[in-house]
């Protein structure tokens, strides 16, 4: 029998640690055979203490290679030219990439077959193997970074009275059966590679920057830090109704919260780009990377239908009561703007989803009015003082609809109320000289 090394055949003089790399390379590529007791040139040297050496190889492979590759490896003894050699047959595994436990899912731990050599795999090759094995769900894939810490996550769980330790990692699906961290674990870890960027602009376009900030770390840290940051720009305007002072924020806090949660929980993390928040004088824009989940339309989202891209991540946020139920975020945003003329806007492309929250205190110019509002403004200008019945008659609308429009215009500062009860009327705001 003639032995010659090839892409699927490796020769070893004796049992050495290097055999592990070859087993990994074969399991990650197309399988192969290792003969132990044969020199590189094909010379038969043989193996002493055959049973002990076979046990040694078996233990070495079982204890140092992850995921468990033992079911794809078989051992047998052969007598060649009067000498005993060990034959190790390795099939291509179904859970690649296989790697050295002590090195992790890094090039120094993952090997592939290249000609007659077992060489470190590139990071791109490792990613391809993970996608092929784990599917295309980002959060379920094995994380390339296995050196993860969870200080922010631990604090968030503790603050909300929810257990969070290594014993719960499998339940939360942060690790698989082999104890390997998933990308879900990466997202909530302190080493999360995705960031959120916020920028403040002067005026209503992106001509002049006033401030910018980048938030990193665990998604929990990004959530808390980003919310604190945008809250600085949620100013309060005081209005007076008689002797009563009414404070009204630029943006409903619930709308800010739900928009921020939406872009963090539902974005497509297979993209490396940052989540973006843009703050203008008249609005805040939340831009999430990745469009809607296939098969879901914007109309579906507005109705409260939810098909979550990151189901496991959403489940963790739900467990922490950060989200109440799937599909309620957008309806909550809309509800918080009930009665206001300017409403939130939602835009979808193939690769992005944008939520725009209008500033409730920003004075609307006449050019931004709806036809109904414009008509009411002109009616008030001509009459000086108008009542709800005047609006009903002029626009041919119901009492309820007229009341709703007038209320919204008052809240936007377009009209002022005078009188009470049956004498309630509406006038244009007085201008200060």
Task: Give a yes or no: residue 50 inside a domain.
Answer: yes
Task: Give a yes or no: residue 313 inside a domain.
Answer: yes
Do 201 and 226 lie in a common domain?
yes
Peptide bond preceding 97 in cis form (omega within 30 of 0):
yes
Residues in the chain: 433
Do 292 and 392 lie in a common domain?
no
Give the CATH number of the domain where residue 111 resides: 3.30.950.30
Alpha helices in 202-282 (DSSP H): 219-231, 253-265
Cα dihedral 261, 263, 265, 267, rounded to 10, equals: 180
Per-residue pLDDT of the chain (433 residues; tens, 9 = 90+): 789 999 999 999 999 999 999 999 999 999 999 999 999 999 999 999 999 999 999 999 999 999 999 999 999 999 999 999 999 999 999 999 999 998 989 999 999 999 999 999 999 899 889 888 887 789 999 999 999 999 999 999 999 999 998 889 999 999 988 789 999 999 999 999 999 999 999 999 999 999 999 999 999 999 999 999 999 999 987 655 555 666 788 999 999 999 999 999 999 998 888 999 999 999 999 999 988 887 788 888 887 777 788 999 999 999 999 987 666 788 899 999 887 767 899 999 988 999 999 998 875 445 567 878 888 888 887 788 899 999 999 888 999 999 999 999 898 888 999 988 889 999 988 754 3
The 3-class SS string of 341-403 reads: CCCCEEEECCCEEEEEEECCCCCCCHHHCCHHHHHHHHHHHHHCCECHHHHHHHHCCCHHHHH
Structure tokens at 396: 């041919």
Could you tell me if 112 and 125 are in contact, meaning their C-beta atoms sit under 8 angstroms apart? Answer: yes
Structure tokens at 73: 């490896």
Task: Give a yes or no: residue 152 inside a domain.
Answer: no
- CA-based nearest residue to 346, from 397, 389, 285, 432: 285
What backbone torsions phi and psi does residue 121 show, to the nearest 5 degrees? Answer: -80, 150
Do 21 and 74 lie in a common domain?
yes
The residue segments making up the domain with residue 392 are: 366-427
pTM for this predicted structure = 0.71
Task: Give a yes or no: residue 55 inside a domain.
Answer: yes
Do 250 and 353 lie in a common domain?
yes
- Asked which of 134, 161, 184 is the last residue of a domain, the reply is 134
Could you tell me if 415 and 409 are in contact, meaning their C-beta atoms sit under 8 angstroms apart? Answer: yes
Do 328 and 212 lie in a common domain?
yes
Quote the CA–CA distance of 370 and 354 in Å, as a whole number.
23
Do 24 and 130 lie in a common domain?
yes
Do 86 and 208 lie in a common domain?
no
The neighbouring-strand residues paired with 289 are 352
Quote the CA–CA distance of 427 and 404 in Å, as a whole number.
16
> What's the domain count of the chain?
3
- Asked which of 319, 339, 358 is the last residue of a domain, the reply is 358
Do 95 and 119 lie in a common domain?
yes
Do 119 and 244 lie in a common domain?
no
Give the CATH number of the domain where residue 349 resides: 3.30.565.60
Do 227 and 349 lie in a common domain?
yes
- Asked which of 358, 391, 418 is the last residue of a domain, the reply is 358
- CA-based nearest residue to 184, from 133, 148, 155: 148
Do 348 and 374 lie in a common domain?
no
User: 64-74: buried (b, 16+ CB within 10 Å) or exposed (e) per residue?
Assistant: bbbbebeebbe
Do 233 and 341 lie in a common domain?
yes
Task: Give a yes or no: residue 2 inside a domain.
Answer: no
Give the CATH number of the domain where residue 410 resides: 1.10.10.10
For 18-29, how does the pLDDT look when each residue is reduced to its tens digit (9 = 90+)? 999 999 999 999
Task: Give a yes or no: residue 4 inside a domain.
Answer: no
Task: Give a yes or no: residue 89 inside a domain.
Answer: yes
Could you tell me if 427 and 416 are in contact, meaning their C-beta atoms sit under 8 angstroms apart? Answer: yes
| Sequential DSSP letters for 81-147 | TTEEEEEEEEPPPSSPPPEETTT-SSTTT-EEEETTEEEEPPHHHHHHHHHHHH-S-GGGSBPS---
Task: Give a yes or no: residue 163 inside a domain.
Answer: no
For 269-309, how does the pLDDT look when each residue is reduced to its tens digit (9 = 90+)? 988 889 999 999 999 999 999 888 877 888 888 877 777 88
């Amino acid at each position: 029998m003639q032995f010659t090394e090839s892409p699927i055949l490796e020769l070893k003089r004796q049992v050495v640690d290097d055999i592990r790399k070859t087993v990994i390379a074969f399991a990650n590529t197309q399988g192969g055979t290792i003969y132990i007791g044969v020199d590189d040139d094909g010379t038969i040297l043989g193996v002493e203490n055959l049973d002990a050496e076979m046990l040694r190889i078996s233990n070495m492979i079982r204890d140092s290679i992850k995921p468990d590759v033992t079911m794809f490896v078989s051992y047998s003894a052969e007598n060649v030219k009067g000498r005993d050699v060990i034959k190790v047959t390795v099939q291509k595994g179904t859970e690649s990439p296989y790697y050295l436990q002590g090195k992790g899912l890094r090039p120094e731990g993952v090997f592939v077959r290249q000609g007659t050599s077992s060489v470190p795999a590139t990071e791109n090759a490792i990613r391809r193997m993970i996608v092929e094995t784990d599917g295309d769900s980002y959060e379920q894939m094995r994380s390339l970074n296995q050196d993860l810490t969870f200080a922010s996550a631990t604090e968030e769980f503790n603050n909300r009275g929810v257990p969070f330790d290594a014993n719960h990692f499998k339940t939360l699906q942060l690790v698989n059966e082999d104890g390997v961290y998933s990308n879900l674990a990466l997202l909530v870890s302190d080493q999360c590679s995705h960031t959120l960027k916020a920028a403040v602009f002067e005026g209503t376009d992106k001509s002049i920057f006033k401030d910018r900030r980048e938030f990193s770390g665990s998604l929990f840290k990004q959530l808390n830090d980003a919310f604190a940051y945008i809250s600085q720009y949620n100013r309060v305007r005081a209005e007076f109704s008689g002797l009563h002072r009414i404070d009204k924020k630029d943006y409903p806090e619930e709308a800010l919260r739900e928009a921020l949660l939406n872009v963090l929980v539902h974005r497509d993390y297979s993209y490396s780009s940052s989540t973006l928040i843009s703050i203008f004088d008249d609005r805040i824009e939340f831009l999430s990377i990745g469009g809607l989940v296939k098969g879901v339309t914007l109309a579906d989202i507005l109705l409260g239908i939810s098909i979550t891209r990151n189901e496991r991540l959403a489940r963790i946020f739900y467990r922490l009561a950060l989200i109440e139920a799937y599909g309620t975020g957008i309806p909550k945003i809309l509800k918080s703007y009930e009665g206001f003329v300017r409403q939130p806007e939602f835009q979808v492309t193939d690769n992005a989803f944008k939520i725009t929250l209008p500033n409730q205190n920003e004075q609307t110019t006449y050019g931004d009015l709806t036809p109904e509002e414009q008509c009411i403004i002109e009616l008030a200008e001509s009459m000086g003082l108008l009542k709800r019945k005047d609006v009903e008659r002029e626009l041919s609308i119901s009492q309820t609809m007229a009341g709703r429009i007038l209320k919204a215009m008052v809240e936007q500062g377009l009209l002022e109320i005078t009188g009470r009860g049956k004498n309630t009327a509406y006038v244009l705001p007085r201008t200060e000289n």
